[in-house]
Amino acid sequence: MPPKKHSSLDRVLGRLDSMDSVNLTNLVQRLARERGLFEDIFNTLQEGVLVITLDGEIEYANSAAHRLIGLGDDGLVGETLWRLVPGLRPSLGITLDDDATLPVVTREFELTYPEPRTVQLYMVPFTGEQHVGGQRFAVILSDITRNKQTTETRIENERTSSVLLLAAGVAHELGNPLNSLTIHLQLINRKLKKLKASKDIDSVAESVRICEDEVKRLDGIITNFLEAIRPQPPDLSEINLSDVLAEVLAFQQHELSDRGITIEAETRDDLPFIMADKNQLKQIFFNIVKNAVEAMKPGGRLRIKARTDDDMVYLAFGDSGSGIKQEEFTRLFQPYHTTKVDGHGLGLMVVQRIMREHGGQIGIESKEGIGTVVTLQFPRKDRRVRMLKS
């Protein structure tokens, strides 16, 4: 076994008993300078550095550790790490006692003060000779909030892209049987016209006409669906929200009447203009009104109210439906998440994407048994121009 190497400092400390007062003073000054140098080095690090005892008492903390944990300079020394981060010690999964074989530990945990963030902890016991006062640990803290959010966003974008690609493929394949149905319905129509007129033939002809209308409607739905999920940039033009909303409600009037839904719209003709893609706006309104109608029983009421301020135009849709359960809120915009038996779970995701591409936002408030309010927020045309210029 090779002989143990000693530093120059170790050799100096070994002659401590034989030193005079001048050499002792020089040694103390040297140690103070080296301590200051190491503290300066640790304080330049972006990672938090702690030295703790078995009981979690903090003996040293650099500047980054104070920032991460949310205490001012020197506020950590003497505190107990387990008290500052409740639940951390049990999560480490080790028994902290002098006789234990202490492993290296890494964990992620959440801090809420002074702001919510994710921190990664790397904790390792000091090796070698036991220090005075027992075993100690070096703890490295890294703020990984941004990295985690970036990774989660990338994964979500990849998942969304996969879902949209699959949905587009399915919608495209549905077009083939619809085309076949259209052709055969046309052949049936031609044969019916050659037959002698009668009530039975007229009845069959009416049924064929209804089938043709339904096929056209399905084809229109698929076309709108494909246009909505394909990530095409909006074709912006000057738009009045009230006009587009009126067109959508007029188109849906038959369905609303069949369900006994009452519409109370408080819009204004003098709403400030916004820059938007008219067809994509219609897609947004179709989705929101459809969701509201399906959430309500016959005889329900949908209230629509527009308002504006110096920067934005707001359009709120409030229904008298069953509301949204609290546990469902975090998954509202996830692809394929739906509470409907025949739902596809893409509607709100598409709405959110279109709103973002228009520089707007969507907000949802809901109470079970009372109803839901969906608020769309669009930048005003004049404000949008100012923001672009600045």
Task: Indicate which CATH number applies to the domain containing 351.
Answer: 3.30.565.10
Q: Is the pLDDT of residue 303 over 90?
A: yes
pLDDT of 102: 54
Q: Which has more pLDDT, 268 or 3?
A: 268
pLDDT of 203: 83
Virtual CA dihedral for 130, 134, 138, 139, nearest 10 degrees?
160
Q: Is the pLDDT of residue 385 over 50?
A: no
pLDDT of 154: 65
* Alpha carbons 88 and 173: distance in angstroms, whole number: 53
* Alpha carbons 161 and 231: distance in angstroms, whole number: 9
Q: Is the pLDDT of residue 63 over 80?
A: yes
Q: Which has more pLDDT, 19 or 142?
A: 142
Asked if residue 125 and residue 259 are part of one domain, the reply reads no
Asked if residue 384 and residue 245 are part of one domain, the reply reads yes
Which of 115, 143, 171 is at the close of a domain?
A: 143
Asked if residue 121 and residue 59 are part of one domain, the reply reads yes
What's the total number of domains in the chain? 4
DSSP codes of every residue in 120-163: EEEEEEPPSSPPTTS-EEEEEEEE-HHHHHHHHHHHHHHHHHHH
Asked if residue 335 and residue 358 are part of one domain, the reply reads yes
Q: Is the pTM of this model over 0.85?
A: no
pLDDT of 317: 93
Asked if residue 375 and residue 247 are part of one domain, the reply reads yes
Chain segment 214-259, per-residue pLDDT in tens? 888 777 767 666 655 565 778 889 999 999 999 999 888 888 888 8
**Average pLDDT over every residue of 87-95:** 61
Cα radius of gyration (the chain): 34
Which of 77, 112, 143 is at the close of a domain?
A: 143
SS3 309: coil
Which of 174, 200, 231 is at the close of a domain?
A: 231
pLDDT of 306: 92
Q: Is the pLDDT of residue 343 over 60?
A: no
Asked if residue 357 and residue 274 are part of one domain, the reply reads yes
Asked if residue 365 and residue 265 are part of one domain, the reply reads yes
pLDDT of 91: 60
Asked if residue 361 and residue 320 are part of one domain, the reply reads yes
Q: Where in the sequence is the domain holding 187, given as residue range(s)?
A: 147-231
Asked if residue 244 and residue 185 are part of one domain, the reply reads no
Q: Which residue has the tokens 């043709």?
A: 212
Residue 128: CATH number of its domain: 3.30.450.20
Q: Is the pLDDT of residue 193 over 60?
A: yes
pLDDT of 200: 79
Residue 214: CATH number of its domain: 1.10.287
Asked if residue 67 and residue 29 are part of one domain, the reply reads no
